[in-house]
Amino acid sequence: MIALWSTLARVGTMAVSLVCGILTARLAITQGGVEYYAFLSLLVALPSLVSFSDLGTGAVVVNGIATSKDVRADRHLERQVRTVMRIMVIFAGGIAVVNTVLLLTGGWYVVLGSGAEVPDAGLAAFVCVSIFCLTICLGIWQRVLLGLGRNPVVILLQGLISPLALFVVWAFLATGSEALKSYLALGSFLATFTVAVIGLLVAIRSSGPLIPRALRVLLSPRRHPGVKVMDVGWPMMAQLLSSPLSMALPRYILAQLATGVAVAQYGVAGQVFFALQALVAAAGVTLWPHFAKARANGSIRRGPFLASGLFGAMIVTATAVILAIGPWLFGIISDGELEITPDIILAFGLMITLQAVLYPLGMFMMDRPGIRFQVAPSLLMAASTVALTYVLVPVFGVNGPLLANAASVMVFQIIPYTVYILRNRDRLYGVPVG
């Protein structure tokens, strides 16, 4: 039922986000230019490079809350939350240091490649990442609400990001200031920070004294030590690291090896397809606490394969619709400035379809042995995606990163995960199968 409500919530918010994303892209391209949109698309993707901001330890909080008998009085759970929050604050501090070094050395221009062909690109990147560091410090709210089974609330809150970002972009462009065009990405970062503040307040209200108690002693690690979390954190971090390496880094490789127009094409098409991926992620992640509880109770009756098939079929259908309306849809987004060809649509569709098939398989394997098993395939997939992207971009252009990821996910994740689930059926289903 939670998965159903999450899916419905995501469909609604995805529709709003898609419309707002289209309007944002159109505003940036028509009133700024292709080069400003390319820069915007690179900056807003920066957070996805460090999606492991809790070093994978958020899994401890999710599992702990999902299995706790009373989250308001569970002292061990409180220590887990406290430990994870400390890790996130330290991680944010590390990102802030790197951000400062990149600003002072001009490193941002190297990182952003052909996408940084706008004034004050380095300073704009610095300001955006600084706001992102503050957002990381508040990130415990998502883990808490997910563990409580309130993923629909998370989705609805995240649905506020696109409208808020659109408003900021419109406000900046409405001033007529040329200087502000380089800072359009601030809309996304300010919106995300605002939602994080709201989300933290909702999480506090939902979990009682759990978060306030952790906050009160957050800066006193000697007097109030944490607990061991990296036994789960290291395997989870390996998986979380694979996502930015395989999904976000190729965008920056594209910026190094191709033109700003190619980066903009990737960004415009991704505006639609990454919204579909977010829908899959929202529905898929709710299976994690569902499977965890069912396994603990010995009540799993159905494995992940039906869900994988349904998720994949959903994206195939969506891709067919996008292919049919593509010229009209992308013409509206770019005002005719960019051409999104059918091969780009099909390549994006293939990549997101395989991601959709993979999601339920991974969520089914989120017990400790399953998490550890996923480390090697995830890292191999990421390494393969990066290597193949370097090889395929000169040949296939925008399609290079997409084909590289699709091939790597199939070979290094979907096939091994399927074999693992079949071989460990008794443990993963929670009851012996006669």
Q: What is the pLDDT of residues 400-409, one digit of tens each?
A: 999 999 999 9
pLDDT of 18 higher than 70:
yes
Quick one: tokens of 352?
């997101």
270-282 per-residue burial string, b: 16 or more CB within 10 A, e: under 16: bbbbbbbbbbbbb
**CA trace torsion 157, 162, 166, 169 (10° rounding):** 100
- H or E, element range at 427: helix 425-429
Q: How far apart are CA 232 and CA 60, in angstroms?
A: 7
Instruction: Indicate the domain borders of the chain.
Output: 2-429
pLDDT of residue 433: 42
Name residue 348's amino acid.
F
pLDDT of residue 380: 94
pLDDT of residue 234: 67
pLDDT band at 220 (very low <50, low <70, confident <90, very high): confident
Tell me how far apart the terminal alpha carbons of the chain are, to the nearest angstrom.
29
- Contact between 81 and 58 under an 8 Å Cβ cutoff? The reply is no
Q: How far apart are CA 250 and CA 274, in angstroms?
A: 14
Q: How far apart are CA 344 and CA 169, in angstroms?
A: 27
How many CB atoms are closer than 10 A to CB 205? 9
Taking alpha carbons only, the member of 9, 55, 81, 62 closest to residue 287 is 62
Alpha-carbon torsion 80, 81, 85, 91, what sign? positive
pLDDT of residue 201: 95
- What number of CA atoms fall less than 13 Å from residue 299's CA on the CB side? 6
Instruction: Name the phi and psi angles at 175, rounded to 5.
Output: -70, -20
pLDDT band at 277 (very low <50, low <70, confident <90, very high): confident
**CA trace torsion 209, 211, 214, 218 (10° rounding):** -140
Quick one: tokens of 35?
């080069």
Residues with Cβ < 8 Å from 44, sequence gap 6 or more?
Answer: 185, 188, 189
State pTM to two decimals.
0.78
- Per DSSP, 363 falls in state H
Which comes out higher in pLDDT, residue 299 or 220?
220
Q: What is the pLDDT of residues 376-387, one digit of tens each?
A: 999 899 999 999
How many CB atoms are closer than 10 A to CB 397? 19
pLDDT of residue 434: 40
pLDDT of residue 192: 95
Name residue 338's amino acid.
L
Return the percentage of the chain with pLDDT > 90, whole number: 42
Which comes out higher in pLDDT, residue 92 or 372?
92
